[in-house]
Amino acid sequence: VDLSRVERNARRMAEHTRRLGVRLRPHTKTHKCVEAARLQVEGHSGGVTVSTLAEARALAEAGFRDITYAVALPLDRLDDCERLHRDLDGFHLLLDHPRTLAELERSGSARGLRWSVLLKVDSGAHRTGVDPAGDRSVSLASALHESPEVDFRGILTHAGQSYQCRSAAEAAEIVNHERTLMVDFADRLRGAGITVDEISIGSTPGVMAATALEGVTEVRPGNYIFFDATQAAIGSCSIDALAFSVLATVIGVYPERREAVINAGALALSKDPGPTHVNPQCGCGVLVDPDGQQLIAGHTIVSLSQEHGVIRSDRDLDPSWLPGTRLRIFPNHSCLAAACFDRYHIVRGTEVVDEWHPVRGW
Ligand SMILES: Cc1ncc(COP(=O)(O)O)c(C=O)c1O
């Protein structure tokens, strides 16, 4: 992990979102460690977003006080949620189904607490969330608003379709759609007498491309702290912003088939197919020299098995590549690749200055 790049990415996002007039509640799923989360919240309120309760617990123990658990709530984890609810100033849950609300009401009464809840809205990613155009979304928001057992905070969405864009201009269109849809939905709810304090949106491509976010209260990008080969290909950042790389060693060379094999497979780079909609030949990551400065053009990581990565050259294989040669790779998806490791070597320039330990499990 290149610390100077992490610091620069954090600073730029903090300034960009301040200029946009929205609170930054950064997602921490990309790195899953306390040190990077601290850099992300500098200059903002200190609120963070997590995708696992293990991340929430680690951040709570490190002193973070305000955490949104941004997946639709798994109802078998209420004991863990209760501990976090009691330990934190704010611990916010997401739901998109009346059954989850009923369970929260029942368990809240039984446990003597009032859960803080956001309604998850589908703004086009079609993963989870209520359809804001339908009637069921309004009736669920109304039930949340009227329930004495829960504290209804507002609405939240993640327009993950921003990853299908090909340029910052396309990402700007998606974030404008995400903003408008959420502000219009909040207006509709307010028209029905429902209080909506929070309008929370955001993905890295969308927030990076945003120029105005009127009506939105907070954004939750996360990947921007490391960025990755996909973000560079879709126009969210330049290659020199990529802060997470995997240093691999050549373990085999096969000039007759113009291939070399490295000891970084799917358990180091992940099998995320990458930005094939921008470049069908993108392969499994971007290859650079060991210092991370020079792109190695004309070479593609064509396949990954568990512990092997196969690199194919479109000309004769570089004769200087031998077993033991080191190569660096910027993975397609830094969140998934980082989650393969139990520690990150933190480098400033070429010097290793620290080691960070991401939290594992759920
Ligand atoms: C609910 C939610 N919010 C925010 C984010 C952060 O988006 P990104 O990874 O584009 O930074 C994610 C990422 O998956 C998410 O699922």
Reported as a single tens digit per residue, the pLDDT across 73-108 is 999 999 999 999 999 999 999 999 999 999 999 999
**Of 158, 178, 234, best ligand 1 pocket probe by most atoms within 8 Å of the beta carbon:** 158
Give residue 226 CA to ligand 1 midpoint distance, Å.
Answer: 13
Closest atom of ligand 1 relative to the 94 alpha carbon: 1
> Helix or strand or coil: residue 249?
strand
DSSP string computed for 215-245: T--EE---GGGT--HHHHHTTSS-GGG----
Give residue 311 CA to ligand 1 midpoint distance, Å.
Answer: 31
Confidence at residue 112, expressed as pLDDT on a 0 to 100 scale = 97
Confidence at residue 255, expressed as pLDDT on a 0 to 100 scale = 97
**In Å, what is the CA distance from 173 to each residue of 103, 123, 139, 152?**
38, 13, 29, 29
pTM above 0.95, yes or no: yes
Q: Which residue has the higher pLDDT, 252 or 44?
A: 252
Is residue 57 within 6 Å of ligand 1 at its C-beta? no
CB 304 within 8 A of CB 284: yes
Give residue 200 CA to ligand 1 midpoint distance, Å.
Answer: 11
Q: Which of 274, 298, 303, 276 is nearest to 287 (CA)?
A: 298
Nearest residue by C-alpha to atom 9 in ligand 1: 223
Confidence at residue 292, expressed as pLDDT on a 0 to 100 scale = 85
Tokens linked to 83: 């501990």
Q: What is the pLDDT of residues 2-59, one digit of tens each?
A: 999 999 999 999 999 999 999 999 999 999 999 999 999 999 999 999 999 999 999 9
pLDDT band at 303 (very low <50, low <70, confident <90, very high): very high
Give residue 211 CA to ligand 1 midpoint distance, Å.
Answer: 19
Q: What is the pLDDT of residues 102-122, one digit of tens each?
A: 999 999 999 999 999 999 999
> Is 325 a residue whose pLDDT tops 90?
yes
Confidence at residue 293, expressed as pLDDT on a 0 to 100 scale = 84
**What's the whole-number mean pLDDT along residues 206-220?**
98
Q: Residue 47 class from Cβ within 10 Å (0-12 exposed, 13-18 middle, 19+ buried)?
A: buried
The average confidence (pLDDT) of the chain is 97
CB 201 within 8 A of CB 159: yes
Question: In the chain, what percentage of residues exceed pLDDT 90?
Answer: 98
Cα-to-chain-centroid distance, residue 334: 9
Give residue 203 CA to ligand 1 midpoint distance, Å.
Answer: 5
Is residue 204 within 6 Å of ligand 1 at its C-beta? yes
